Amino acid sequence: MSTEPASPDAFLEDAAHYPGGHARGVLFPRSAADIADMLRRVPAALPVGAQSSLTGGATPMGEMIISTSKMTEVVSRSADRITVQAGLTVAAMQEHLTAAGAWFPPAPTFTGASAGGIVSTNAAGAATFKYGSTRPWVEALIVVLADGTILDLHRRDVTAHAGTFTLDTRSGPVTVPVPSYVMPDVAKRSAGYHAHSNMDLVDLFIGAEGTLGVVAQITFRVMTTAPQSTLALIPCRSERQALDVVIALQHASLQTRQAADPAGIDTAAIENIDERSIQILREDGADKANDVTFPEGSRVALLVQLELPAGTSSAQAYDQIGSALTPDAPDGALTRFCQLLERHSLLDVTELALPGDRRRTDQLIAIREAVPAGVNRRVGVAKREIDPRIEKTAADMVVPLEAFGEMMDVYRRGFQARGIDYAIWGHISDGNVHPNVIPRSYDDVVRGKEAILEFGRAAVALGGCPLAEHGVGRNLVKQALLRQLYGDAGISEMRAVKRALDPEWKLAPGVIFPR
Ligand SMILES: Cc1cc2nc3c(=O)[nH]c(=O)nc-3n(C[C@H](O)[C@H](O)[C@H](O)COP(=O)(O)OP(=O)(O)OC[C@H]3O[C@@H](n4cnc5c(N)ncnc54)[C@H](O)[C@@H]3O)c2cc1C
């Protein structure tokens, strides 16, 4: 281990481009013991992984940066577990698993993110509808507390009793109060500290964004086999039509899982892009570049990831698709999928990438990814050419699917009433979308933030969560959304947790809430 801090210049910004990043230096531990030693010697530290944070949470504000980039070992692997150091990227972990036929389902879209980063933000992938977020896949953690205590935590070993945890630390016994707020019951949540009466200590550190301890090592549960899946692109004529087919697909998928029906429809993810997003793809030529045509009048496009029974061949898939509407169609997931689309008058316009057609699958994924890329580029251009104060202004909210249509109306009304150009895309199967401002002036950013706070109030009123997967970080609007969700009392309860484990406020100060 090098004990001398290196120049922090390459570590002063995360993917949120949060302004003002500065640091005392950067240290590169190789083990939990190194992290403990470092924490004992510095007054303030910010753990960082790949710095792909979209909230400024991985932007240093004068702390010593503790980068996990040299902690990239796979420590061990069994059939359904993998233990890795915190700096290993999701892509590298997935590659390691693929070699053994295994798979880590909750991987976020950005696979350059580190294992420690996805745990610390409770990241969620597109397939949350089937597999959940990172949290339930974490079996064990090695965490280093601010005073250098190394905790080796295994799920189900330590649970809260009478609203507290009691821990032995280097500084003596510590009582950690469990907050009393009730978390919204939604598919994904990255909104401050996890809390419920008999919670597991492992869960306290998941989603804590580096404020309670530095994650050094993680044991994840993994799937022993990767599923076979296929993608379908479905252009819809209205948001109502899109929502109806999403609800029907989810309903069918839940039935399939309940009955373990091998011929049933089994969707893992449904992504959506709105009309403005489709227009952006056309303006940027991303539709042509990926050989995709959206019919005139397409208001929403859905990208459905459908899982198929292992071993489904292209010929079988062809057979099911080709004869789905005939009386002697073979029963199977694709037959039923086509029949469902036909009932929603969508079969004619749907394109299915056949299982194994990697090129077409990649093109359909590229279409989805071209939307945020196009919007981010527009934000960058506006910042350069119109006003340097312009920044990405976007929400990341989740509501129960029953309230999704109503929430979409809230987003649209809020932006339109303020004359803001915007695009909305996301993970419709989780009720989680990203409404984004396409700024034409700094004023759009200011009014966009005001709209997002309004959305947050509506999301909470509809039983949702205004912070779904990216966390809170240093972003002041996100910190305000967290306050809207749990009130000042909830933030005080989080502060009490922080004070118990980190009385000197050493770790990631200013992240999630101000001191
Ligand atoms: C193009 C793109 C796509 C994205 N897609 C998704 C998506 O699909 N789903 C999703 O959930 N997110 C997504 N994100 C956001 C981001 O990738 C996630 O938040 C990710 O989990 C961050 O991992 P990281 O290694 O980059 O962590 P960093 O950005 O380095 O850190 C994030 C936070 O975690 C803390 N932290 C990092 N490592 C540790 C550690 N070892 N111990 C304690 N604290 C630590 C940091 O202090 C910081 O607060 C996306 C980002 C980009 C740029």
Q: What is residue 1's predicted lDDT score, i.e. its pLDDT? A: 61
CB 328 within 8 A of CB 304: no
What tokens does 274 get?
Answer: 């709105």
278 pLDDT tier (thresholds 50, 70, 90): very high
> Which residue's C-alpha comes closest to atom 7 of ligand 1?
108
- Look at residues 349, 340, 187, 332 and name the one whose alpha carbon lies nearest to residue 269: 187
CA-closest residue to ligand 1 atom 50: 110
Alpha carbon 472 to chain centroid distance? Answer: 12
Phi, psi of 295 (to 5 degrees): -60, 150
Q: What's the helix, strand, coil split of the chain in %, to 5?
A: 35, 20, 40
Q: Could you write out the DSSP letters of every residue in 339-370?
A: HHHHHTT-TTT-EEEPTT-HHHHHHHHHHHHH
Give tens-digit pLDDT for 358-408.
Answer: 999 999 999 999 999 999 999 999 999 999 999 899 999 999 999 999 999
Using DSSP's 3-state secondary structure scheme, residue 201 falls into helix
Buried b / exposed e over 314-334, threshold 16 CB at 10 Å, is eebbebbbeebeeeebeebbb
Instruction: Report the separation in Å between the CA atom of 90 and the middle of ligand 1, taken as the mean of its atom positions.
Output: 11
Could you count the other beta carbons within 10 Å of the beta carbon of residue 400?
A: 16
Pairing of strands 432-437, 300-308: unpaired
Cβ-count burial 481-492 (b if 16+ within 10 Å, e if not): bbeebbeeebbe
State the closest ligand 1 atom to the C-alpha of 369, by its place in the atom list counted from 1.
Answer: 1
Using the mean position of ligand 1's atoms as its centre, give its distance from the Cα of residue 224 in Å. Answer: 25
Q: Which two tokens stand for residue 357?
A: 């057609």
Q: Looking at residue 137, what DSSP letter applies?
A: G
* Ligand 1 centre distance from Cα of residue 465 (Å): 19
Q: What percent of the chain has pLDDT over 90?
A: 90
Which of 13, 17, 54 to mutate for ligand 1's pocket (most ligand atoms within 8 Å of CB)?
54
Contact between 512 and 209 (Cβ < 8 Å): yes
Q: pTM for the full model?
A: 0.94
* Whether the predicted pLDDT of 243 surpasses 80: yes
In eight-state DSSP terms, residue 406 is H
pLDDT for the residue numbered 168:
95
Going by alpha carbons, the residue nearest to atom 53 of ligand 1 is 52
Nearest protein CA to atom 23 of ligand 1, as residue = 117
Q: 3-class SS at 444?
A: helix
Mean pLDDT over all residues of the chain? 95
Ligand 1 geometric centre to CA of 50 (Å): 7
- Residue 64 parent element (H or E): strand 64-67
Residue type at position 424: I
**Residue closest by Cα to atom 22 of ligand 1:** 117
Query: Which tokens go with 341?
Result: 């689309």
Centroid of ligand 1 to alpha carbon of 121 (angstroms): 6
What's the pLDDT at 2?
63
Q: Hey, which of 28, 35, 53 would you mutate to test ligand 1's pocket, going by the most ligand atoms within 8 Å of its Cβ?
A: 53
pLDDT exceeds cutoff 70 at 137: yes
Reference 276, options 284, 266, 288; nearest CA is 284
How far from the centroid of its chain's Cα atoms is residue 412's Cα?
23
How close is the Cα of 106 to the center of ligand 1, in Å? 13
Three-state SS for 231-263 is EEEEEECCHHHHHHHHHHHHHHHHHHHHHCCCC
For ligand 1, residues with CB inside 6 Å are: 14-15, 46-54, 57-58, 68, 86, 108-110, 113-114, 116-118, 120-121, 123-125, 209-210, 214-215, 469-470, 473, 508, 511
